[in-house]
Amino acid sequence: MATGNLAGEFTDRWARWLLKDRFGGDEERRRLNITGLEPFRDRILTAARIAPGDIVLDVGCGDGLIGFGAIPLVGGAGQVVFTDISDQLLDRCREIASELEVANRCRFLLSPAETLDGIDDLSVDVVTTRSVLIYVDDKASAFEAFWRVLKPGGRVSLFEPINTRFAALNRETLFGFDVAPVADIAARVRAVFEAAAPSDGAMMGFDETDLLLLAESAGFSDVDVTLELSSTGSPFTSLSWDQLMKMSPNPNAPSYGEAIHQTLSPEESQRLEDHLRTLMESGAEGRNRAALAYLTATKPPS
């Protein structure tokens, strides 16, 4: 996938976060992140069993990680349909398609996952998503929309982080590092991000079991959900403190620096920084604990 330099201002929160804030505006960090996401892309696409000539619908396409990965698989006779709720992200995908000279095999459509307006019934062979349903309030409607647009025998392949489990796994850490010596102030910073993702909201109010039941309720068969829990080195270890403070964990949350400075006094902010910066810059091993779910499902042949 092309990664060219980005320019201009982002006027919607989805484009701003996906193309800037999650990397703190650091272009090299953005490129490294894209490379790090390729295994997730490849697993989604392999599970989708895409064949030459297929029509693939990438729901919530973002900057096209999944959709452009599908282009070689559908071949010259196939097509990838990119949908998103952000005009700016769709514009970015159009730019990439032009750079890759594959625009003739792409379609771009502003459309929400809950309805997939503009996509005809029984018109696509495969639906893919990555970290999209986590932001959708009405997940049942999204699965119903997937069912509506898929041809008989069509497949769904998706990936979602399971934030309820993530929160439990990381309750005693911040940025993957032990914060026991500063637990009182770390808890207040963590509460900022918890407020941005309430327990009954779209980001936290579901788990892998819900995904399976939603797919079943929509009519899908051969539903398979794999939950993976992992513990690896913290991705923040290689960052400077200043880089980290510019980053944001999701489109609904402030940057880490904003959360700290809005919540803590200058003295408390310095205390937290001194503790965490020392760990980061000393090369201390942090923990990146993750909870991830992959789902595949099939629309039964008529």
Q: What is the pLDDT of residue 5?
A: 45
Residue 8 or residue 163, greater confidence = 163
- Decide if 5 is inside a domain: no
Residue 118 falls within a domain, yes or no? yes
Q: Is residue 290 part of a domain?
A: yes
Whether 3 shows a pLDDT value over 50: the answer reads no
Query: For the residues 20-31, what does the mean pLDDT come to?
Result: 88
Please report which confidence band the pLDDT of residue 236 belongs to, taking 50, 70 and 90 as the band edges: confident
Separation CA 1–CA 246 (nearest Å): 25
DSSP string of 41-86, one letter each residue:
HHHHHHHHT--TT-EEEEET-TTSHHHHHHHHHH-TT-EEEEEES-
Examine residue 1 and state whether it is found in any structural domain, yes or no.
no
Q: What is the DSSP letter of 8?
A: S
Q: In which order are the strands placed within the sheet that holds 150-161?
A: 106-110, 79-84, 55-59, 124-130, 150-161, 287-298, 221-233
| Statement: residue 234 has pLDDT above 90 | no
pLDDT digits (tens, 9 = 90+) for 54-109: 999 999 999 999 999 999 999 999 999 999 999 999 999 999 999 999 999 999 99
Q: How far apart are CA 255 and CA 192, in angstroms?
A: 10
pLDDT of 4: 46
Bigger pLDDT: 241 or 155? 155
Can you tell me whether residue 260 is helix, strand or coil?
A: helix
pLDDT tens-place string over residues 258-296: 999 999 999 999 999 999 998 888 877 788 899 999 999
Residue 235 dihedral angles phi and psi, to the nearest 5°: -70, -10
> Is the model's pLDDT at 2 over the cut of 50?
no
Is the residue at 6 inside a domain? Answer: no
Instruction: Say how many domains are in the chain.
Output: 1
Q: Is residue 7 part of a domain?
A: no
Q: How confident is the model at residue 231 (pLDDT cuts 50, 70, 90)?
A: very high
Range of the domain at 27: 13-298
- Percent above pLDDT 90 for the chain: 82
CB atoms within 10 A of CB 52: 11
In a domain, 114, yes or no: yes
pLDDT digits (tens, 9 = 90+) for 4-22: 445 557 889 999 999 999 9
CATH number of 261's domain: 3.40.50.150
Instruction: Please state the rounded mean pLDDT for residues 153-179.
Output: 94
Query: Has residue 2 been placed in a domain?
Result: no
How do residues 197-210 score in pLDDT, each as one tens digit?
999 999 999 999 99
Across 128-157, average pLDDT = 98
- DSSP, collapsed to helix, strand or coil, labels residue 257 as helix
pLDDT at 6: 55
Whole-model pTM: value is 0.93
- The average confidence (pLDDT) of the chain is 93
